[in-house]
């Protein structure tokens, strides 16, 4: 992200220091979800779009994700979930829904997530849709299971897509407290366990018409996809920058022996700079193109994996401690690679 944008942004460093840094180990262990921190981000006005252009709001969101990712990618991922849900509400043509939820989401009063991995894989021809929607008077009834949805809690909401029939899918906005919806917390992942991730089973959940984001999900996904992918890119950028900085810090250890390692900080920094420049080119172009973002997202994953691996090698056994920052970033980076669109998914759609 351009330095001038970063300066203008006034990223709340005090909030990162006081409300996130002290909790990173507990977040990594899975015993803490940074809900209060996320709500406070909403209170800063940085998520607001009313006085900003679409691209300005996107840039600010991306910069926030990156700054948070430098401290804790798990929490940056939670913010991504919220930004994805915000994107759905910003783009819906259901005006009453937008009028009601946009201020609540942008101020952090309500936190939200996204259950769109399966639909994204469905539209890329990877798998069938997991949710079904049966139209009824004044709404639809949803059934099926989503194996993992993050940034959830009793009072949170999330976006889902369900199949109505062979030619139609709809997109809904659902509260976690909906009758018939059961949530089972998932904590056994290699990393990102403090992401409030749940398996969500819909047993005939009624969703009223007021909560339908789109009657034509296939078309709606085309509108939101560039934002969905763009907001993910800084998850990797933050980790790469932190890995580079951590490599620099170890350079004097053991009489500077790390300089013999093949991957060095300056090479990673050049690769990172290249990605930032490509991002800037996309952001100043007239139309936001999802494929350009997807290419950049893929290259960011590969760079992230290289950076976290290099950081592990530079740190030696100190990095091999379970709770060390390099090992946390290594585990978080593998999640970034397996977050939809995953590496294999991106490689397929970019053929
Ligand atoms: C921590 C975490 C948080 C996530 N949060 C969200 C979210 O907020 N929203 C969302 O929509 N998606 C979420 N996902 C899903 C994520 O975005 C990707 O879709 C998923 O990780 C991609 O995995 P995959 O492509 O291997 O497909 P998967 O759907 O995981 O599986 C591909 C194949 O592997 C099989 N498989 C899956 N798990 C196992 C297992 N444990 N053992 C054996 N076989 C298995 C499946 O049956 C399938 O055949 C989350 C995933 C994780 C790990």
What's the gap in Å between 264 CA and the centre of ligand 1? Answer: 33
Look up the CATH architecture of domain 232-349.
Up-down Bundle (1.20)
The domain spans of the chain are 3-106, 112-218, 232-349
In the chain, % helix, strand, coil (3-state, to 5) comes to 60, 15, 25
Q: Is the CB of 148 under 6 A from ligand 1?
A: yes
Taking CA atoms only, the protein residue closest to ligand 1 atom 33 is 127
**E-strand spans in the chain?**
112-114, 132-136, 139-149, 157-165, 168-175, 181-185, 198-208, 212-214
Residues 6+ apart with CB under 8 A from 206: 136, 139, 140, 141, 178, 179, 180
Cα 344 to chain center, whole Å?
18
Partnered with residue 184 across adjacent β-strands are: 199
- Is residue 197 in contact with ligand 1, taking CB distance under 6 Å? yes
Res 27 pLDDT > 90:
yes
Q: Give the C-alpha separation, 258 to 25, whole Å.
A: 27
The closest residue, in CA terms, to atom 30 on ligand 1 is: 147
- Any bridge partners for residue 132, and if so which? 143, 163
Q: 81 in ligand 1 pocket by Cβ < 6 Å?
A: yes
pLDDT surpassing 80 at residue 11: no
d(CA 188, CA 40): 28
Going by C-alpha positions, the residue among 242, 255, 205 that lies closest to residue 329 is 242
Span 246-267, pLDDT tens digits: 999 999 888 889 999 999 999 9
Cα 334 to chain centroid, rounded: 14
Burial 80-93 (b: 16+ CB within 10 A, else e): bbbbbbbbbbbebe
State residue 12's pLDDT score: 81
Spatial CA neighbour of 47 closest among 131, 116, 107: 107
CA angle 238, 239, 240 (to 5 degrees): 90
pLDDT above 90: residue 13? no
HSE of 131 in the Cβ direction (CA atoms, 13 Å)? 34
pLDDT at 8: 57
Distance 315 CA to ligand 1 centre (A): 30
C-alpha of residue 238 to centroid of ligand 1, in Å: 23
At the top level of CATH, which class does the domain 112-218 belong to? mainly beta
pLDDT at 295 over 70: yes
For ligand 1, atom 50, the nearest C-alpha belongs to 148
Give the pLDDT confidence of 73-87 residue by residue, as tens digits: 999 999 999 999 999
* Token duo for residue 275: 């990605």
Mean pLDDT rounded to a whole number for the chain? 95
pTM over 0.85: yes
Does residue 149's CB lie within 6 angstroms of at least one atom of ligand 1?
yes
Topology given in CATH for the domain delimited by 3-106: Butyryl-Coa Dehydrogenase, subunit A; domain 1 (1.10.540)
Return d(Cα 73, Cα 66) in angstroms, integer: 8
């Amino acid at each position: 992200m351009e330095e001038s944008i970063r300066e203008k942004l006034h990223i709340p460093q005090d909030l990162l220091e006081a409300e996130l840094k002290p909790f990173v180990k507990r977040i990594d262990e899975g015993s803490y979800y940074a809900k209060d921190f996320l709500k406070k981000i909403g209170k800063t006005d940085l998520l607001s779009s009313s006085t900003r252009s679409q691209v300005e709001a996107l840039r600010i969101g991306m910069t926030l994700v990156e700054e948070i990712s430098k401290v804790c990618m798990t929490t940056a991922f939670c913010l991504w979930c919220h930004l994805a849900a915000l994107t759905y509400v910003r783009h819906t043509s259901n005006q009453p829904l937008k009028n009601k939820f946009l201020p609540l989401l942008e101020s952090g009063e309500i936190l939200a997530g996204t259950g769109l991995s399966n639909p994204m894989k469905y539209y890329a021809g990877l798998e069938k849709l997991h949710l079904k929607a049966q139209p009824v008077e004044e709404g639809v009834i949803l059934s099926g299971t989503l194996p993992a949805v993050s940034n959830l809690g009793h009072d949170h909401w999330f976006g889902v897509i369900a199949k109505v029939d062979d030619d139609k899918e709809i997109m809904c906005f659902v509260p976690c407290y909906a009758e018939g919806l059961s949530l089972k917390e998932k904590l056994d992942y290699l990393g990102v366990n403090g992401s409030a991730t749940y398996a969500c089973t819909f047993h005939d959940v009624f969703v009223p018409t007021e909560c339908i984001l789109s009657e034509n999900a296939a078309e709606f996904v085309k509108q939101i996809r560039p934002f969905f992918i763009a907001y993910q890119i800084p998850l990797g950028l933050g980790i790469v920058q932190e890995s580079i900085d951590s490599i620099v810090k170890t350079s004097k250890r053991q009489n500077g022996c790390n300089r013999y390692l093949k991957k060095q900080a300056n090479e990673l920094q050049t690769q990172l700079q290249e990605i930032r420049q490509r991002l800037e080119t996309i952001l100043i172009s007239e139309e936001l193109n999802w494929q350009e973002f997807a290419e950049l997202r893929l290259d960011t994953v590969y760079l992230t994996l290289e950076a976290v691996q290099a950081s592990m090698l530079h740190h030696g056994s100190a990095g091999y401690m379970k709770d060390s920052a390099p090992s946390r970033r290594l585990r978080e980076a593998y999640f970034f690679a397996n977050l939809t669109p995953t590496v294999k998914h991106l490689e397929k759609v970019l053929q």
